[in-house]
Structure 1
Amino acid sequence: MPLIQFPILMPFLYFPNDKTEYLPAILTMIAFLIVAILAFILIKRISKKQEEKFNEEYGSIIQENKEKDQTNKN
């Protein structure tokens, strides 16, 4: 049985001999990575502020409910 030869499925791949052609892609990747990290930090800070605000407003109610649950179990 002859071996079936598959056509190259990705003829669009291009690996340059001159490695300086990689610089724009590397710089773009680094820029997007920095923006992603900054967005992550910003989201964490906003989430922390919202959690503190929630605990200020509803912390006493949550604590009371926990105490009621503990007394009901005993």
Structure 2
Amino acid sequence: MMEFLYFPDDKSAYIPAIISLFFFVTAAVTAMYFLVKHSKKEEKKWEDKYK
């Protein structure tokens, strides 16, 4: 069948993967928040300067 897929019988092997997934998703959401915040600030500066 598909030998390249590995699903462990011991479900505790998933815990490190879930922790790292949570960490990276949280980091991505935080980075996106600050990027949007900075972008809005830059847009306001541009609007004030050129209008």
Pair 1:15-2:32 in alignment: no
Amino acid at match of 1:20: S
What SS does the aligned partner of 1:50 have? helix
Q: Distance in 2 between matches of 1:11 and 1:35?
A: 33
With the length of structure 1 as denominator, give the TM-score of the two structures: 0.64
Of 28, 46, 55, the match for 2:20: 28
Give the total of aligned pairs: 51
4+ residue runs over 2 A deviation: none
With the length of structure 2 as denominator, give the TM-score of the two structures: 0.90
Q: Distance in 2 between matches of 1:53 and 1:11?
A: 57
